Structure 1
C-alpha cells in the first residue's frame, strides 16, 4: 500500500468527506483571531503593567520588543512546517499564545514577564506559517482577497483584545487577565479537527535558491520591517501618550481598537486592490497615507481622534495580504518560509526597532517616536518602488 498523497490526506482538496473550504477558512480565521488577540493585548494594559512591575515608560519598547521578537523565528518554523506537514504546529502555537497571554497579569517580576512575552512570541511563530500555508492549500481563486479574510481574523483579535483586556484590568484587576485566554484554549481542539492536514514536502521540496532571492528578499524585509515598526509603535505608544495626558487605560486602548478594527476594511480592500490593480500601487499608497494620517491621531484631542484613527486603520493595513503573497512568490519552493519572512522575521526586526526608538520616550514627551515612524513610513514607499515587476502582478 502506498503512502497518502496530497489529494488523499485528510484536510486537503479532494479528500473524501472533507470539510468545505469556506468552513475551514472560517475555522482558521477564528483561531487566528484568538491567537493574535491573546498575543497582542499587552498594549491595552501596558501602563498598568509598567506600574505593576515598577518600571518607567522607557521600558515600554523593551516589553513590546520581547512580545514580538519571537516572531522572527517564523522563517525557521515555516521551513519546519513545510517538511513535517500536518496541523500540529497551528494547534501548538495557539496553545502557547493563549497560555502566555493568560499568565501576563499574574506576574509582578520583570524577568518572568519577559519570559512569558517570549513564550507568546514563540506561539505566534509556530501558528502563522503553517496556518497561512493551510489557507493557501484550500483556495484556488482570488487568493489575495481570501488570504485577507484569514488575516482579518488576526486583525480583529489584535483590535478587540486590548480594549477587552483594559476593561478586565480596570474593573477586576490585572490578575483576572486569564479570562482572555479561555476562548483560545477552548479552540485548540477545533484547530486539531478542522485545520487542513498538509502533506509533508521533505521529499519533493526544491532547494532554496538564496542567491536568486537575495535582492527581492532584502526589499521585502526592509519594507515589511518598517510597516511592522509603524504598527507596533502606534499600538505601544498611543496608550502611553494617553497615560501621560492623564487618561485611563480604556481610553488609550480604545484608540488602538479603533485603528486595528477599522483596519479590517483596509486588509480586505488591500487584497482586492492587489488582485485588480497590482501590488505596487497598494504598497506605495499605504506607506504615504499612513505617514500623513499619524499626526491627526496623536496631536488632536476629543472625539475627532477616534475619527482620525478610523481613517488611519484601513490605510495602515492595506499591505498585509499583498506582502504575504509577495513572500510566498519569492519562495515558491517553500511558501511557509516566505510567509514567515513577510510576517514573522519582519515583525522581529520591527520589534528591535521599537526597542530602539522607545528610548526616545520620556515621562513627559512621547511625540518624537511618532515623527520617526512617519519619516520611515515615507521612506518605505521608495522601497516599494524598487520591487521587481515580476512580484507586483
Structure 2
C-alpha cells in the first residue's frame, strides 16, 4: 500500500503529452526524414543517370559509333533487373544496410566513369552502377512508404521527385563539367554522395526484419488476380521505361546529328525530367482523387500524342513540348509503385523492385534493340516507336483488375 501511495504522489504534477502533440511531433520527424531520403534519392539517381548528358562525347572519345548509345544505356540499367530479388532480401533482413551499400556503390561508380576510356572498362562500371542503384531503391522505397501517413500518392510522389531531380539535373551538370573541364573531371559527380552517406547511416529509418516472409495474395484478389495484376504492371511499366530511357538516349544523339552542342542536348533531357516533377506530384494527387486507372490511361495517351513531335520539331517550341511531355511521362510513377507494393503486401520492397527496377531494365533492353536496328541517319524513327509503345500501354492500363485500381484511389476490400 505504501509503495502504491508513493507512486500516486510521484504521478501528481507529471504532465503527459497530449496525443495531438505526440502525433504532431512524430509527423514532424517523419517529414524531416522524408526530406532527407528525398535528397539521398536525388543524389543517388543523379550519379546513376548522368551518362545520357555526355553520351556523344563518351562515344566519340572511345572512337565508337553513336549507334552504341542504346547499348551503354542498357548496360547502365541491366543491373536493375535484380531489384525484385534484392527487395525480397531487404524485407527479410530489414535495417538500412542494403540501401546504404547501394548508395555508396552508385556514387563511387559515378565518379569512376571519369577514368574509363574504353568499352572494356566503361561497361563493367556501368553494370556496377546499375547494381548499386538496384540495392538502393527497394529498401529506400519501403522506407519512404513507412514515412507516408495519409495522402500516400502525393507523399510517395514527393519522395520520387528526388529521383527525377537527380536524373534531370545531373545530365546537364555533367555536360557542363565535360564542356569546361573535360571528361576527366567527372569524378566531381561523386562528391555529393560522399557527403550524404553519413546522413543515411545516422538518420535513415530502419526497416523491421520479416524473417517469416510469405508472398500471399492481397485479400480479395486471389492468385489469378495477383498474377494478372503482376503481369500487366510489368508490361505497362516496361513500355513507360522504354519511353523514358529512349528519350534520354536518343535526344542527345539527335541533337548531335543536328550539329547542336552537348549542353543543348542535355538541356532538353533535363527539361523533360525536371518539369516531369509537376506531372509526378500531380499524378499522385489525381490518383488519390480520381483513381489510378484514370491516371494510367491518361498518361499513356498523352505521351503517345507528344513524343513523336519531339523528334521532328525544331526551334523553341520543342522545349515547351518537352516539358509537357515530361509531365505526362511521370504522372504514373508513384501509382505503379503503389500497385506493385499493394500486389505484394507482405514484401513492399519486392513490389517496388518489380514496378521500378525490373521494368526499367526491360525498358532499357528495348532501347538497346531499337538502337541497334535504327540507322544513324534517322534516329527520329525511335520516337515513332515510343509513340506506338505508349498507345499499347494505354490499352494495357484498361486491363488492370479493379482491385488494384479502385476508382477512389484506395484498395478495394
What is the TM-score of this pair, normalised by structure 1?
Answer: 0.94
Identify the residue that residue 214 of structure 2 maps to in structure 1. Answer: 206
Identify the residue that residue 77 of structure 1 maps to in structure 2. Answer: 86
Alpha-carbon deviation of 1:94? Answer: 1.1
Identify the residue that residue 161 of structure 2 maps to in structure 1. Answer: 152
Identify the residue that residue 218 of structure 1 maps to in structure 2. Answer: 231
Identify the residue that residue 291 of structure 2 maps to in structure 1. Answer: 278
Deviates more, 1:249-258 or 1:353-362: 353-362
**Alignment partners' CA distance in 1, 2:116 and 2:238:** 30
Alpha-carbon deviation of 1:319? Answer: 0.4
**Alignment partners' CA distance in 2, 1:207 and 1:366:** 43
Unaligned runs of 5+ in 1: 1-12
1:67 paired to 2:80? no
**Alignment partners' CA distance in 2, 1:23 and 1:218:** 36
1:223-372 to 2 correspondences below 5 Å = 223-372=236-385
Q: 1:59 to 1:389 in 2, by over 3 A?
A: same
Identify the residue that residue 104 of structure 1 maps to in structure 2. Answer: 113
Identify the residue that residue 89 of structure 1 maps to in structure 2. Answer: 98
1:44 paired to 2:53? yes
Alpha-carbon deviation of 1:295? Answer: 2.4
1:176 paired to 2:176? no
**Alignment partners' CA distance in 2, 1:367 and 1:109:** 28
Alpha-carbon deviation of 1:206? Answer: 2.6
**In the alignment, which of 131, 134, 137 is matched to residue 125 of structure 1?**
134
**Alignment partners' CA distance in 1, 2:192 and 2:215:** 39
Q: Contact 2:76/2:129 (CA < 8 Å) preserved in 1?
A: yes
1:30 paired to 2:39? yes
Q: Contact 2:308/2:386 (CA < 8 Å) preserved in 1?
A: no
**Alignment partners' CA distance in 2, 1:51 and 1:325:** 41
**In the alignment, which of 123, 141, 146 is matched to residue 137 of structure 1?**
146
Moved over 3 A (4+): 16-19, 207-212
**Alignment partners' CA distance in 2, 1:186 and 1:359:** 39
Alpha-carbon deviation of 1:208? Answer: 4.3
Bigger-Rg structure (1/2):
2
1:182-193 to 2 correspondences below 5 Å = 182-193=191-202
**Alignment partners' CA distance in 2, 1:195 and 1:266:** 27
SS class of match (1:232): helix
**In the alignment, which of 365, 381, 386 is matched to residue 399 of structure 2?**
386
Task: Please give the root-mean-square deviation of Cα atoms over the aligned residues, in Å.
Answer: 1.6
What is the TM-score of this pair, normalised by structure 2?
Answer: 0.89
**Alignment partners' CA distance in 1, 2:394 and 2:262:** 34
**Alignment partners' CA distance in 2, 1:259 and 1:381:** 20
SS class of match (1:20): helix
* Alignment coverage as a number of residue pairs: 379
Unaligned runs of 5+ in 2: 1-21, 407-413
Q: Contact 2:215/2:344 (CA < 8 Å) preserved in 1?
A: no
**Alignment partners' CA distance in 2, 1:17 and 1:387:** 36
Deviations 1:333-361 (A, max 9, x none): 11110000000010111111111001133
Alpha-carbon deviation of 1:211? Answer: 4.3
